[in-house]
Amino acid sequence: MRARDNFNFTHTIFLLLGGVALLFIFAPLAGMFLSVNAPNLFDAATDKVVGNSIIRTLIISFAATIISALFAIPLAYILARKKFPFKGVIEAIVDLPIVIPHSAAGIAILGLISRDSALGSLASSFGLNLVGSPFAIALAMAFVSIPFLINSARDGFAAVPTRLEQAAETLGASRISTFMKISLPLAGRSVVSGLLLMFARGMSEFGAIVIVAYHPMTTPVLIFDRFNSFGLAYARPVAVIFVTVTLILFIALRIYQKKRW
């Protein structure tokens, strides 16, 4: 009886502490939604600049996620399955975009695609300017968000029993066939979770994008621009619309993930 009472007491304390964490997340968002008046919200919702920025943000983030997955998922599998020299260094490099300031990330990417760089010079020879382009935005999104995909997928692959892969290869399956039919499906939930996290993190990026491509504006940059130019009253409705769109999209993707896996 005492053990049960102690469990109930601990459970109650944990619920209260967890409630504080939830309140910390919910309160600012609720305050933002409640402080927006209907006319300003309607004006923002019917503003083509706002609509185009949201569509642009979602499309570029989605493209950056899918293209990055072609490289990130194989790397995650290698990190999960193989032991090799300097593996810890590589894992630290993977996590680096999470810890460095995103303004520094933007400067690093700017150095990669500026006209003085090899990549920028090559693009210039074809009449292209990478700075201030959707390509620059995609690079910035991918740079700051790819660790989420790699780490999540790595954990998923690490949880797949190696004996299943060995059994498939013993029966004559090739390495790539084993990966596609055994490893990837069994790690699917973690891989999809990583894809969702990367997509969500990419579309919310501001610091790196504002350095490499102020225009065309993604929605986080537009929110900053409205705030900087006109004040909180003009920035808040755009923020509310963007949060609503991303929340609906993210919930739908999470529901699909749980039903599929």
67 & 11 share domain: no
Residue 250, pLDDT score: 83
Residue 147 tokens, joined: 């660790």
Neighbours of 251 (CB within 10 A): 10
Count the domains in the chain: 2
Checking if the pLDDT of 154 tops 80, the result is: yes
Residue 3, pLDDT score: 54
Is residue 168 in a domain? yes
Residue 260, pLDDT score: 65
Is residue 180 in a domain? yes
Residue 8, pLDDT score: 80
Is residue 40 in a domain? no
Checking if the pLDDT of 72 tops 80, the result is: yes
Domain limits for position 14: 1-34
Q: Which long-range contacts (C-beta less than 8 Å, at least 24 apart) are formed by 49-55?
A: 49/217, 49/222, 50/219, 50/222, 50/238, 50/241, 53/216, 53/217, 53/218, 53/219, 53/221, 53/222, 54/219, 54/241, 54/242, 54/245
Checking if the pLDDT of 38 tops 80, the result is: yes
Residue 11, pLDDT score: 86
Residue 26 CA, chain-centre distance (Å), reads 20
Q: Higher model confidence: residue 1 or residue 115?
A: 115
Q: Higher model confidence: residue 259 or residue 255?
A: 255
Is residue 197 in a domain? yes
Confidence at 170, pLDDT banded by 50, 70, 90 = confident
Predicted confidence (pLDDT) per residue in 126-148, tens digit: 989 999 999 999 999 999 999 99
Residue 2, pLDDT score: 57
22 & 127 share domain: no
Residue 253, pLDDT score: 80
Separation of alpha carbons 86 and 148, rounded Å = 21
30 & 49 share domain: no
Residue 7, pLDDT score: 60
Is residue 121 in a domain? yes
Q: Could you write out the DSSP letters of every residue in 46-93?
A: T-HHHHHHHHHHHHHHHHHHHHHHHHHHHHHHHHHH---TTHHHHHHH
Separation of alpha carbons 228 and 225, rounded Å = 5
Average pLDDT of the segment spanning 9-24 = 92
Q: What is the phi/psi pair of residue 231, to 5°?
A: 105, 180
Mean per-residue pLDDT of the chain: 92
Interior angle at CA 80, CA 77 and CA 82, nearest 5: 95
Between the CA of residue 184 and those of 102, 111, 161, what are the distances in Å? 31, 35, 12
Is residue 85 in a domain? yes
Residue 249, pLDDT score: 86
Is residue 14 in a domain? yes
Confidence at 252, pLDDT banded by 50, 70, 90 = confident
28 & 90 share domain: no
Residue 112 tokens, joined: 């990669």
Confidence at 87, pLDDT banded by 50, 70, 90 = very high
167 & 227 share domain: yes
147 & 24 share domain: no
27 & 146 share domain: no
